[in-house]
Amino acid sequence: MGSLFRSEEMSLCQLFLQSEAAYACVSELGELGVVQFRDLNPDVNAFQRKFVNEVRRCAEMERKLRFLEKEIKKDEIPTLDAGDNPDAPAPREMIDLEATFEKLENEMKEVNANAEALKRNFLELTELKHILRKTQNFFEEEEHSIVDDAQHALGVDDSRPIASQAQPLQLGFVAGVILRERIPAFERMLWRVCRGNVFLKQAEIESPLEDPVTGDQVNKSVFIIFFQGDQLKSRVKKICEGFRATLYPCPETPAERREMAIGVMTRIEDLNTVLGQTQDHRHRVLVAAAKNITVWFIKVRKIKAIYHTLNLFNLDVTSKCLIAECWAPVVELDKIQLGLRRGTERSGSSVPSVLNRMETSEEPPTYFKTNKFTSAFQAIINAYGMANYREVNPAPYAIITFPFLFSVMFGDAGHGLIMFLFGLWMVVREKQLLTVKDAGEIWDTFFGGRYIILLMGLFSIYSGLLYNDAFSKSFNIFGSSWRVTDDFPIYGPNKSTIISHIQLSPNSTAFQGDVYPFGLDPVWQLSGNKIAYTNSYKMKLSIILGVSQMLFGVILSTFNHRYFKNTLNLFCEFLPQVLFLLCMFGYLVMLVFYKWIYFSAIERNSNCAPSLLIGLINMFLFTYPKAPCSSHTFYPGQQAVQTLLVVMAVLCLPWMLLVKPFILRWQAQRKIGDRARQLSVNSGDLVIEDGDVIHHDAIVARIDKDKEEFQFGEVMIHSAIHTIEYCLGTISHTASYLRLWALSLAHAQLSEVLWTMLFRIGLSMNGYHGSIIIAGVFFAWACCTIGILLLMEGLSAFLHTLRLHWVEFQSKFYTGAGYAFQAFSFAQIMEFKTDD
């Protein structure tokens, strides 16, 4: 809690590391993950830094590892992820690693090259096999052989009478294999180039073949082209080459073809065994690599991270040691010292590393130490803006107020219970669920906010009980204090059906006089004036909650003013702000309580109780009419009190607007006067000593800076904006809290609609079929409850709560203009890498 109230105290430290110990020290710090290094050479290019060669070697190793990983994935070998976290290896181990990866990569490449050659060979043979088989069909199966066919076709094309073909022309042919999608263009081109003087016959190869280079499955077709003469032959060949068709020799006689086919078959079988062996070898190599690859990746990444960090360091003049600057939380300094000592020992260096705290005027980063419970709440606050260094942090209050305001809008014990159970399940099974990776963004969001969900559920049960509302039904635990007797014309003929809603009035005899001990009396669930009753209650409640939260926010701002020693703000901001709020809405809240306590139906006529809203409006208009009894005053002397309050509130405006800028101006003028006097004294020394010239320059620069800093107009505008924002904000934010009532009403009504429109249908069925229908109706009702009421309504209530915190609450005290502490931590680097 102490650490969450304000961000950690940070200190800028200087590290002097012996160059041989630097690596080990940084490695230790990376494991600790509590320092943020600053770049000391921001204007040096990435490739001109000292350890760029090592970084490059790491990149090369990563490339090799990625190559191996790709191969492992291709073979679908499971990689072993034992979840262990090896230390960053010593620099000399890097050479071993490099050698190992080099060897593995070369081996893989060799195996791949072999496999590719073999596969290409295999592909060629398979294609040849298909050609032989298909051409066999072409030649044999058709009634008159294909050669005749071709001669016939080409003969006609030659525009010679068929009869004159006494002897068949000598036709040549080529056979080959081509990608199936290329056939149409291929055919067209053949026709165009050879002017129709070729005869093409093609058949598809049914089974897809494997491309040896990419490993994809491709569909191919066998073709055979008949032509006449050598010129055409060369053209056809050129076209085939152009379309990447592979041509194969194909003997002309069936006997030769058969012989060749047999030869091809035996060669394919031989190849298959060789291929199998190559695959086995490849598999063995990869399985061995898969065991270690995760560890290797972690090691290489750690080395790379260390060298990247070392690149941020400065080299001192003697280049014996490296100088680093870093931000570190003060409480962790001992740990860091210890880590440095360990690192120095490990590297065997005799000179210890030195950690030196530095004075700085720079704004340190904001660092909150969170645990798994608080981190989600802190994340909600950070999403609005990172807190300024050591500013009051709203997160610890949000832990309670966030689920509470949510529950005011989501007040339903039944829905709350479901939400609570879901949250509980996630919390209890946390360890198992944490190991599940890549479950999707939505799941990650829910799981990340599991403690919020748990608390929201719990608080919803509480407010649901207060509202006495569970799935739009009420519990009658203590016995209602109303007796609805026969006087009420509410029962139908058979006394079991309610024909109209009762209008409950505490004036009637139905009210027994005692108050239901906890929450709302269940009888209101049945009454016709239920909404009028709860509205009045919830509206007032919203205003009370809102004003208290805002008041709390304004009070928190004093902690900031006092911590940063800003007395001026305390008197010129906080005091008028709190007065303004109290005079207007603090008074309203008081009236609410007064009205609740003072008026009751029995003793004083509550029908004639003064209206709060009209009363508030009249207070600002200074009118106090007598006409309707609801605009009477609450108490005697109200007019004087209210006039005083309004005058006070109005006086707060110039107080907020003017006092601070004028005081600031007065202070600035006095400072300049002082400086000028100082300067005139110093300029006397100027002539004597050279060193003072610099001193003098520094002063002038500082005065210039002061002049730049204080510009009255700017301060005035800033103050005006601030004042307007606060005053308008107070009014609009109070009104904004009414969303608590509005959403709560919407939720209750929606849940009631769902019950009456769906579930009651099932309940009103009689007989056996009723039991079946009720099951179906229950299903629909449950789905709608989960989908609409829990998910959608829950989300909307969540967003409204978020807004109430970010805007209404935090605007009172929170600046949120800091920057986050980004520690150099191996754990984070690994997580980020696995996310990629």
Least spacing, CB of residue 308 vs another protein, in Å: 12
Here's the x/- map for another protein, 147-186, by CB under 8 A: it reads as -----------------------------------x--x-
Biggest distance spanned by C-alpha atoms of the chain: 136
Q: Which of 9, 48, 602, 683 binds another protein (CB under 8 A)?
A: 48
Burial (CB count <10 Å: 0-12, 13-18, 19+), residue 509: exposed
The one segment of 90-98, 187-195, 213-221, 684-692 that binds another protein by CB under 8 A: 187-195
Q: Is 110 in the site for another protein (CB under 8 A)?
A: no
Here's the x/- map for another protein, 244-263, by CB under 8 A: it reads as x-------------------
For the chain, give me the number of helices (H) and strands (E)?
A: 29, 11
Q: Is 242 in the site for another protein (CB under 8 A)?
A: yes
Least spacing, CB of residue 60 vs another protein, in Å: 6
Q: Is 241 in the site for another protein (CB under 8 A)?
A: yes
Name the nearest CA neighbour of 814 among 589, 428, 624, 550: 550
E strand or H helix at 445: helix 441-448
The one segment of 22-30, 45-53, 639-647, 800-808 that binds another protein by CB under 8 A: 45-53
Q: What SS3 state is found at 193?
A: helix
Q: Which of 103, 238, 501, 707 binds another protein (CB under 8 A)?
A: 238
* Tokens found for residue 9: 């105290």
| Interacting positions 636-675 with another protein (CB under 8 A) | none
Q: Is 103 in the site for another protein (CB under 8 A)?
A: no
CA–CA gap between residue 817 and residue 811 (Å, rounded): 13
CA–CA gap between residue 70 and residue 598 (Å, rounded): 79
The answer to whether the CB of 655 falls within 8 A of the CB of 572 is: yes
The answer to whether the CB of 24 falls within 8 A of the CB of 90 is: yes
Q: Is 187 in the site for another protein (CB under 8 A)?
A: no
Under rule CB under 8 A, how many of the chain's residues touch another protein?
25
Q: Is 786 in the site for another protein (CB under 8 A)?
A: no
The answer to whether the CB of 41 falls within 8 A of the CB of 314 is: yes
Nearer to another protein by Cβ, of 193 and 773: the residue is 193
Nearer to another protein by Cβ, of 53 and 815: the residue is 53
Nearer to another protein by Cβ, of 241 and 689: the residue is 241
Write out 81-127 in H/E/C secondary structure.
CCCCCCCCCCHHHHHHHHHHHHHHHHHHHHHHHHHHHHHHHHHHHHH
Q: At what angle do helices 450-467 and 395-409 cross, to 10 degrees?
A: 50
Cα torsion at 490, 495, 499, 504 (round to 10°)?
30
The answer to whether the CB of 124 falls within 8 A of the CB of 266 is: no
Least spacing, CB of residue 689 vs another protein, in Å: 42
Other Cβ atoms less than 10 A from the Cβ of 441: the count is 7
Let me know how long the chain is: 836
Least spacing, CB of residue 830 vs another protein, in Å: 19
Q: Is 243 in the site for another protein (CB under 8 A)?
A: yes
Distances (CA, A) of 474 to 327, 456, 470, 496: 57, 21, 6, 19
Least spacing, CB of residue 722 vs another protein, in Å: 37
The label of the residue with tokens 């931590």 reads: 825
Least spacing, CB of residue 45 vs another protein, in Å: 6
**764-785 b/e (C-beta count within 10 Å ≥ 16 → b):** eeeeeeeeebbeebeeebeebb
Q: Is 189 in the site for another protein (CB under 8 A)?
A: yes
The label of the residue with tokens 């205003």 reads: 543
Here's the x/- map for another protein, 5-44, by CB under 8 A: it reads as ----------------------------------------
Nearer to another protein by Cβ, of 63 and 803: the residue is 63
Q: What SS3 state is found at 805?
A: helix
Q: Is 229 in the site for another protein (CB under 8 A)?
A: no
Q: Which of 73, 103, 188, 695 binds another protein (CB under 8 A)?
A: 188
| Interacting positions 476-515 with another protein (CB under 8 A) | none
| Interacting positions 673-702 with another protein (CB under 8 A) | none
Least spacing, CB of residue 64 vs another protein, in Å: 9
Q: Which of 120, 192, 429, 803 binds another protein (CB under 8 A)?
A: 192
E strand or H helix at 201: strand 199-204
The one segment of 233-241, 473-481, 684-692, 808-816 that binds another protein by CB under 8 A: 233-241
Least spacing, CB of residue 831 vs another protein, in Å: 20
Q: Is 66 in the site for another protein (CB under 8 A)?
A: yes
Nearer to another protein by Cβ, of 242 and 492: the residue is 242
Q: Is 235 in the site for another protein (CB under 8 A)?
A: yes
**Dihedral of CA 769/772/778/779: which sign?**
negative
> Helices (DSSP H) in 209-332: which residue ranges?
230-242, 254-310
Q: Is 833 in the site for another protein (CB under 8 A)?
A: no
Which residues make up the interface to another protein (CB under 8 A)? Answer: 45-48, 52, 56, 59-60, 62-63, 66-67, 182, 185, 188-189, 192-193, 235, 238-239, 241-244
